[in-house]
Structure 1
Amino acid sequence: MAVKTIWQITHSCGHQAERDLSDRAADRRAGFAEWLAKQECTDCWRAAKDGDEQDKAAWLEVKRAEEQAESDAWSQQYRMPPLEGTERAVAWGVRCRHQVLAAAYTALVLEGETSETEWEEIEEAARTVTRAGWWIDQRSSEPDDLSELLQAATEADRPTENPHF
């Protein structure tokens, strides 16, 4: 007599389903059927997963709102100018600027050799970069690179003089 291929599974959620286990080796079907019985059925698993994704989205929305409020307060405290760009880019850029400058301050001043006076010069240069996209692009930069990046950004904004005219 052949080992059965169709198994009646009662899942942990209480739902029952027939499963065709013919794609598994005969000696592995019983163990797999036992494992399936300890799992939720496909419909319950999907419903739970959708709920998890909704919970994750809600958590992320709250987290972003907290980060945005913190970044907005920081921007006001340190007299950072408003950024330019789309509404979405501005919000993201404000968070990125806060994170980039806070990480740089920690690495360069608190843990490094940069003086408060030197930091004030870096901070002043940062105030001149008001394009949200620039801050978004720099979100993964190294703190040690900030001065050079700011210098490049401010030089790119200056008109070049043509000595031939």
Structure 2
Amino acid sequence: MAVKTIWPIDHSCGHHSDRDLSGRPADRRAGFAEWLATQECTACWRASKEANEQDKAAWLETKRAEEQAESEAWSQQYRMPPLVGTDRAVSWGVRCRHQVLAAAYTALVVEGDTSEVDWEAVEESARTVTRAGWWIDQRSSEPDDLSELLQAATDADRPTENPYF
């Protein structure tokens, strides 16, 4: 007699289904059927997943709004100029600028040996970079590299003899 291929499953969510387990080796069907009984049925699993994704999306939206408000307040407090770019890039750039400069301040001044006077020069240089895309591009940079990156950004703004090189 052949091992059955259709197994009745009473799922943990209370639903019943008949599962075709012919794709599994005969000696593994019973164990898999037992495991399936500890799981929700496919429809309940999908509904749960969709609800979790909606919860995650709502949480992320709230988190982004909080970060945006904090970054804009920080920008006003430290007299940072508005950024230039698309609406989406500007809001992202404001958050990135805040995160980059806050991380650099912590690493260089609070934990490092950069003086407040030297930091003010870095901050003043940062005020000259108003392209949102630049701040987005630097979001993963190391705090120690900030001065050099800002120098390169301000040097790039200067006209050259041949703008194509």
TM-score range for the pair, normalised by the shorter chain length: over 0.9
Aligned residues: percent identity? 84
Give the C-alpha shift of residue 158 in structure 1: 1.4
Question: Which 10-residue stretch deviates more, 75-84 or 15-24?
Answer: 15-24
Distance 1:62 1:31 in 2: 43
SS in 1 for 2:114: coil
Question: Which 10-residue stretch deviates more, 99-108 or 21-30?
Answer: 21-30
* Structure 1: runs of 5 or more not aligned: none
Deviation string 1:11-68 (CA, Å, 9 cap, x unpaired) is 1111111111111121211111010011000011001001110000000000000000
Question: Which 10-residue stretch deviates more, 17-26 or 78-87?
Answer: 17-26
* Structure 2: runs of 5 or more not aligned: none
Give the C-alpha shift of residue 160 in structure 1: 2.6
Distance 2:156 2:20 in 1: 65
Amino acid at match of 1:152: A
SS in 1 for 2:125: helix
Question: Which 10-residue stretch deviates more, 21-30 or 130-139?
Answer: 21-30
Distance 1:60 1:108 in 2: 30
RMSD: 1.0
Distance 2:137 2:29 in 1: 52
Distance 1:44 1:158 in 2: 61
Find the counterpart in structure 1 of residue 95 from structure 2: 95
SS in 2 for 1:100: helix
Distance 2:15 2:119 in 1: 64
Give the C-alpha shift of residue 159 in structure 1: 1.7
The 5-angstrom pairing of residues 71-150 of structure 1 reads 71-150=71-150
Find the counterpart in structure 2 of residue 25 from structure 1: 25
Distance 1:2 1:147 in 2: 74
Give the C-alpha shift of residue 133 in structure 1: 0.2
What TM-score do the two structures reach when normalised by structure 1? 0.96
Distance 2:104 2:46 in 1: 43
Amino acid at match of 1:46: R
